Structure 1
């Protein structure tokens, strides 16, 4: 049994392969995929087919969500899954795609007083534990136009999904047996603490200050850098860069 067939055998329903012409067009338009070596590009195609088969896409508002955009999202979501396989997609089903930024209402309860306050956040992406991945299509398109600027909303949200495979996001995804969990926690915590202190002091930082919001955001933001601007990450946090090289494999840009 071939490799792709062994992957398909894990699913009850056959996984439809991606059309050759559609795949060639998408590779030309998705620079992160176009930069892969042939073996990883071949596996990416298999994983993207599984992603498309196992996820349900929903166009929100007037988002022009056609077959190309579904495939482009699937390809970028599959990049962080390359070393981990289809298990990286477990635990959720839906991909919600808005035409641009979207608003999310949140409730916060103050523990001492019990007072609940509501607020609206404007976002370009979000991932819910065992819930949907939510994306701004305008920002997905921007990432294709500027693939090496350190930002990629699909990879950011997929990093959260990997993080959530073991429960609520905390910046510590399930690790392969070859990686040491204590080393991961210590290295990522040191990087997060350095960034948080710099942000608190008003210093300019190489890593997006949003990464200082929480350890899980630090993991997601540095994951974006691994794929789209690894030289900056190696300069700013070489130990974190080495960890992500081990977790994700080599960056497409190296």
Structure 2
């Protein structure tokens, strides 16, 4: 067999470590990682090495994707995996990176009329079931510069990937034994219904109104809050905040 095949296999099973200099620079550039304790930083470093070995980055539309930016994306992608390990990376391989917002053509089929309509959505991130992770590099960089503003596009899309590990994205990822599935469903459904009701009535909400789009978007949006504004999430819904702490581990963000 070709030697390149063996190199890929070895990299998958025992990924090359991230150099000390590269890791030091990446931690300095990523406030979330910088606030982790040493043990979790070491776990993150190992997970990021696995991520870089198993995933393939593709820079599109002129995006300038340096190795250091790839590492910073890998770090943020692996933060939600700290309690779940490399097995949670299964099922997909590609990361597509645009310089900024990108358009996606959608088709909608009306079951009653049979009419198909098309429209363009402008996005900063997307996760396909068993397909690529798609990111806006400008928004990745903005999240690094403003880590405590309630948003993180990489965390959002990785939450979708976690959600998809057991099939369609429905806001209920595979749960560890210590989190009862029924407790999760009841708490998240109640919080989602409450938010949807407030959004429908035009009320101000602590959680981004986009979370009312669907149960899976709710899970992804509150995951962003867990990692960037956990205090806001606790005020919005203490039960959801507690479940996400049990699922992800404690947030390193300021409370």
Q: When the two structures are superposed, what TM-score results if normalisation uses the length of structure 1?
A: 0.95
How far apart, CA to CA, are the structure 1 residues paired with 2:141 and 2:119? 28
Moved more, 12-21 or 149-158: 12-21
- 1:250 corresponds to: 250
Is the counterpart of residue 229 in structure 1 residue 229 in structure 2?
yes
- 2:218 corresponds to: 218
Quote how far apart the aligned CAs of 1:113 are: 1.2
- 2:202 corresponds to: 202
Q: Deviations over 1:82-109 (max 9, x none)?
A: 0000011000000000000000001010
Quote how far apart the aligned CAs of 1:14 are: 2.9
Q: Deviations over 1:209-247 (max 9, x none)?
A: 000000000000000000000000001110000000000
How far apart, CA to CA, are the structure 1 residues paired with 2:103 and 2:61? 13
How far apart, CA to CA, are the structure 1 residues paired with 2:110 and 2:101? 28
Is the counterpart of residue 33 in structure 1 residue 14 in structure 2?
no
Q: Deviations over 1:16-36 (max 9, x none)?
A: 110110100000000010010
Q: Deviations over 1:148-180 (max 9, x none)?
A: 111000000000000000011000000001110
- Tell me the matched-pair count: 246
- 1:111 corresponds to: 111
- 5+ residue gaps, structure 1, are 1-8
- 1:140 corresponds to: 140
- 1:166 corresponds to: 166
SS in 2 for 1:95: strand
- 2:6 corresponds to: none
Say whether the 8 Å CA contact 2:95–2:134 is kept in structure 1.
yes
Q: Deviations over 1:32-81 (max 9, x none)?
A: 10010110000000000000000000000111100011000000000000
The correspondence of residues 1-254 of structure 1 with structure 2, limited to 5 A, is: 13-254=13-254
- Superposition CA RMSD, Å: 1.2
How far apart, CA to CA, are the structure 1 residues paired with 2:12 and 2:102? 35
How far apart, CA to CA, are the structure 1 residues paired with 2:52 and 2:252? 22
How far apart, CA to CA, are the structure 2 residues paired with 1:133 and 1:12? 19
- 2:4 corresponds to: none
Q: Deviations over 1:113-133 (max 9, x none)?
A: 111111100000000000000
Change (3 A) 1:10 1:81: farther
Quote how far apart the aligned CAs of 1:10 are: 9.9
